[in-house]
Amino acid sequence: MHKKIKYIIAATLVVAAVSGFAPSNNFLLGSVEAYASTYNDASNGELKSLDLTWGSGSKIKLLDSYSGDEVDLSSDTDYYVQLKGVSDFNVAAEVKGSGYVVKMFTSSSRSEKGEDVGQDVNIGSGYKDIYLRTYKSEEAYKEAYNDGDVSDCEKIYIIHARKESSTSEAEEDREYAYLDGIYLSDGSVDFSKNKTSYDVNVGEDVDKLTVRANPDDDDDYIEINGNSVYEDDNFEKTVNLDKGNNTITIYVEHEDEDTTYTLNVYRGKSANKTDSSNGQNFAIQTQEGSLNAWQRVDGKWRYVDGTGSVLKSTWWFDKDTGKNYYLGQDGFRTTGWFSDNNNWYYFNENGEMQTGWVNINKNWYYLNKSGAMQMGWLEDSTGNWYYLDGSGAMETGWIEDSNGKWYYLDSTGKMIKDSAIGAYKLGTDGELE
């Protein structure tokens, strides 16, 4: 009798993280020295040190992306960290300049109350962005908070945190029960050995389906719908199909491990849709679909979770595409402009959240790495300044800011400095003299 130790290959679900601050222990704990990244060339208002630790003071490295290289603190304002097996980490930072302060926030909301650094942050079980904003003084922060716009600050730094699941050495050395391929007499599957569920459509006149399950190891034990199949039979089994939904299971056993693959076969007419982004045709199953997967209905996309429920009114990060989406009240991807928590976001025709510079209806807008539309003065990574009006649109030509000062922005939106526009002289800070 075969030992069936069920092994579940689960899709990673990024769930909404419940964040919060908790009192911190001393930054140096025991004999473990905390990791400190310093920036010796920092200007006033910039961070001169950033210290991230977890547990008993173990260091957390700054990265240039989740899977990127380790970096030091610099003039860059976006950093990434990976947390393995823990959900809490401590953030401590110092800002250069007499009287300057730095505050910590857990969202991009302009009305959120900031906390002093040196405290622990909990990111839950998925992803979380931590915002560090610097101010000229404690009074400047309080004024911005009371005015309902904490983004009125000197600098904004974003720490993109992601929690990884821990993997033991035994898990890394573990051998799994996988197939090498699945072949059908009608229809097809886009096979991947660690993907265990597939949707297949066949015509209404197809009443039998031959399934071949090629094992990764010829010595593996294979069952198709509970019937053993062997190498002499090419690991094949012919299955009778009813009209409508049919389920075919393929059981694989390798040593002490096993995996079950599932084919959700729909026999009957299906609606063909065309994906305008790549011109491919999609056969959309009109009955029950797969779980933890995107589902296309009448040309629109929605996401079905592991319980079979359609996600609604929520943000969704797809780890396979690396894109963020917002699923509306009807469950479908949002497109165009969308307001959430006092911030504006823009999604392209495929529902993907946009970042950086985007041109919409002949106007340029800037969306930060969290996707939030920016307004007011904006400095890029090369030190050029731009001005975005109250609607977020980039300005050009002469402008007067809220302090009554005049500046000139060229046709690309860049502020001109230390130059003359006709008879008008612009200073080193771009202000009209």
The DSSP secondary-structure symbol of 79 reads E
Confidence of residue 388 (pLDDT cuts 50, 70, 90): very high
Averaged over 90-116, what is the pLDDT? 89
Torsion angle (degrees, nearest 10) of CA 362, 364, 365, 368: 130
- pLDDT tens string 270-304: 433 333 333 333 333 333 446 778 888 877 888 88
pLDDT over 90 (residue 310): no
Better-predicted residue by pLDDT, 76 or 19: 76
Question: Up-side HSE of residue 302: CA atoms within 13 Å toward CB?
Answer: 18
Higher pLDDT, 336 or 108: 336
pLDDT at 19 over 50: no
- Percent of residues, the chain, with pLDDT higher than 90: 29
Give the per-residue pLDDT at 284. 36
Write out the E strands in 216-354.
221-224, 227-229, 236-240, 244-254, 257-267, 271-274, 281-284, 293-297, 300-304, 314-318, 323-327, 336-340, 343-347
Determine the average pLDDT of the residues in 198-204: 83
* Element counts in the chain: helices (H) and strands (E): 2, 35
Q: How far apart are CA 22 and CA 119, in angstroms?
A: 6
The pLDDT of residue 326 is above 50: yes
Tell me what the mean pLDDT of segment 43-63 comes to: 83
Instruction: Report pLDDT for 90.
Output: 86
Least confident of 32-36, 322-326, 418-422: 32-36
Query: Is a pLDDT exceeding 60 seen at residue 11?
Result: no
**In whole angstroms, what is the distance from residue 402 CA to residue 404 CA?**
5
pLDDT, average across residues 196-205: 84
The pLDDT of residue 280 is 34
The amino acid at 109: S
| C-alpha 348 chain-centroid distance | 16
| Helical (H) or strand (E) element with 162 | strand 155-164
Written as six digits, the tokens of 433 are 């003299």
Between 73 and 11, whose confidence is greater? 73
CB 214 within 8 A of CB 229: no
Q: What is the pLDDT averaged over residues 367-384?
A: 90
Report whether pLDDT(152) > 70: yes
Task: Report all structural domains of the chain as residue ranges with CATH numbers, in order of start.
Answer: 36-167 (2.60.40), 182-271 (2.60.40), 293-359 (2.10.270.10), 375-426 (2.10.270.10)
At residue 256, the pLDDT reads 80
User: For residue 164, which phi and psi values (nearest 5 degrees)?
Assistant: -100, 150
| Phi, then psi, of 332 in degrees rounded to 5 | -90, 155
**pLDDT tens digits, one per residue of 88-99:** 888 889 999 999
